[in-house]
Amino acid sequence: MKIGKQQKLVVIGDSISDCGRVQPVAEGLFDPLGRGWVTDVDALLGATYPQLGIRVVNVANSGSTVRELKVRWNDAVLAQKPDWLAVYIGINDVWRQFDLPRMPECHVGLAEYEKTYDALLKQVRPSLQGLVLMTPHMVEPNRREPMRQRMDAYGAVVKKLAKRHDAVLVDVQGAFDRVLKYQHPMALAWDRIHPNQTGHMLIARTFLSALNYTW
């Protein structure tokens, strides 16, 4: 297990990680981490590695793009002083280009996405024990579908940034692709973006496997 004893893991991202978490900072009693994969990760860590006492904090916000992360970065990330940071961002950067095509001010192009994301990581990487970058996903098996193609391009940027910043890469899109060989997208996510509980557990399993979790 790559995360060490009594280390603090902070998760930042969009609605896939938010999942109704407690605001402004989610941790502690009474299921504050939301209804998704972050809670699954916290529960599995606590059940399997109780001796490590890993602290999980969720600061993800629904609807976020890298622009929103930039605005919140000091308070949501740097002020938290994480040992490990997991970043799962990019879905809305892509989605707004398709569901709000007449509002270009809401669109985060690929160049801006990479430049902003890279600058944020440069700020925090020297202070971290470990960094985890997660590819944005679309629960769509047709890789020629326009939004899926765009999502893959943003995922390629995440893979490049993971190498650049010596981060653990969690290929969420690849994990969904493997399951989509056997299940229809609507069995995992009604809108091809927001996963049901099976989808969230798939994300949690992929995340923990990348950190050498013992199943």
* DSSP string of 109-126, one letter each residue: -HHHHHHHHHHHHHHHGG
Catalytic hit among 62, 107, 165, 194: 194
Tokens of 125: 């990487």
* 8-210: CATH architecture: 3-Layer(aba) Sandwich (3.40)
62 is catalytic: no
Q: For this structure, is 191 an active site residue?
A: yes
Counting Cβ atoms within 10 Å, is residue 65 exposed (0-12), middle (13-18) or buried (19+)? buried
pLDDT at 178 (0 to 100) = 98
Q: How far apart are CA 103 and CA 147, in angstroms?
A: 17
Domain ranges of the chain: 8-210
Selected catalytic residue, list 75, 99, 166, 191: 191
pLDDT (tens, 9 = 90+) of the chain, 215 residues, equals 999 999 999 999 999 999 999 999 999 999 999 999 999 999 999 999 999 999 999 999 999 999 999 999 999 999 999 999 999 999 999 999 999 999 999 999 999 999 999 999 999 999 999 999 999 999 999 999 999 999 999 999 999 999 999 999 999 999 999 999 999 999 999 999 999 999 999 999 999 999 999 98
Please pick, among 15, 17, 40, 137, the residue that the annotation labels catalytic.
15
pLDDT for the residue numbered 42: 98
pLDDT at 215: 87
Phi/psi class of residue 109: alpha, beta or left (left: φ > 0; alpha: ψ in -120 to 50)? beta
127 an active-site residue? no
